[in-house]
Amino acid sequence: MEMVSETKVWDGLHQQFTHSSSRCQCDMRFAVFLPPQASQNNRVPVVYWLSGLTCTDENFMQKAGAFRTAAELGIAIVAPDTSPRGESVADDESYDLGQGAGFYVNATQAPWSQHFQMYDYITHELPALIEANFPVSNRKSLAGHSMGGHGALVIGLSNMSQYQSISAFSPISNPTQCPWGKKAFTAYLGANQSEWQEYDASHLLANCHLAPPILIDQGDRDTFLKEQLKPETLQSAATKSGVNITLRMQPGYDHSYYFIQTFIDEHLRFHYQYLRQ
């Protein structure tokens, strides 16, 4: 790892690193917030934050206003980038495919399959790196926004023993049935739509009978709500399987980080009640 920057905030540290990823076969960047309680004698739990389309590790860390509550609770936050990047990494002219739009899947189709292995990177490689090099425990939770909310739900539901809780803001809840998801999955996974279902949170939730605690906030003035996000499919899936989720429609809120700022403290406290057990 190579440190890019380090800044003190709320008596903790915000640090940014690059490292060579074996799964993505390129240099990857991530940021970490270490609360003041973190030390080798006091390894703290972690919330992994997965960001949305066009974002990097910096969006959440700079805009969400999460550090005060994370410092109070003694929670570390890790924010990876949203995709592989670099001159040798495949890309597309549109914002919703390629660099900045990894969708947290393991791509199987050329030219994406060489580098776009974000599912394995988030699920295995990054947590192993974090736990080996920082004063954190193996107790972790997932949170995310939009494409990252999709990633948090899919990864959490597919690896239930690894995560204490899951939360999401404005997640892409049913990507196999929305334009963003159809475009990305066709490119990354191919035309066989049956292979897409393992990355669809609504499909996963409809076919499980046990899940970690799940909290979802969705603004009712989100311009992407009806066409892209489809939270009603997630609620229907939970009803079908009998899994309890908390889905809150927040009146007047949109898709922006102003929305995330408003409720991020509640999400951190939600995770804390399960991380501390």
Q: Which residue shows structure tokens 């003694």?
A: 74
- Per the structure, the count of domains in the chain is 1
With a pLDDT cut of 90, the percent of the chain lying above it is 99
pLDDT, mean over the chain: 97
pLDDT at 273: 97
What is the span of the domain harbouring residue 142? 2-275
Torsion, CA 117, CA 123, CA 126, CA 132, rounded to 10: -150
Q: How far apart are CA 262 and CA 238, in angstroms?
A: 26
**Closest C-alpha among 46, 255, 7, 235 to residue 134:** 46
Average pLDDT on 199-204 reads 98
With 0-12 CB in 10 A as exposed, 13-18 as middle and 19+ as buried, what is 177?
middle
122 token code pair: 């988030």
Average pLDDT on 104-120 reads 98
pLDDT at 109 over 90: yes
* φ, ψ for residue 243, nearest 5 deg: -85, 135
Average pLDDT on 19-25 reads 98
Ramachandran bin of 8, using left for φ above 0, alpha for ψ from -120 to 50, beta for the remaining angles:
beta
29 token code pair: 């960047």
Element (H, E) at 46: strand 44-50
Catalytic annotation, residues: 146, 222, 255
pLDDT at 221: 98
Q: In what order do the strands lie in the sheet with 2-9?
A: 2-9, 12-21, 26-34, 76-80, 44-50, 136-145, 163-169, 214-219, 246-250
277: confidence class by pLDDT, cuts 50, 70, 90? confident
- Angle among Cα 251, 143, 203 to the nearest 5 degrees reads 85
Q: Hey, is 261 helix, strand or coil?
A: helix
Domain containing 259 — which CATH number?
A: 3.40.50.1820
Partners of 53 in the beta sheet?
Answer: none
pLDDT tens-digit series, residues 53-82: 999 999 999 999 999 999 999 999 999 999
Average pLDDT on 163-175 reads 98
pLDDT at 265: 98
pLDDT at 151: 98
pLDDT at 209: 86
CA 262 to chain centre: 18
pLDDT at 48: 98
240 token code pair: 């079908």
CB atoms within 10 A of CB 226: 10
Average pLDDT on 243-261 reads 97
Average pLDDT on 82-105 reads 97
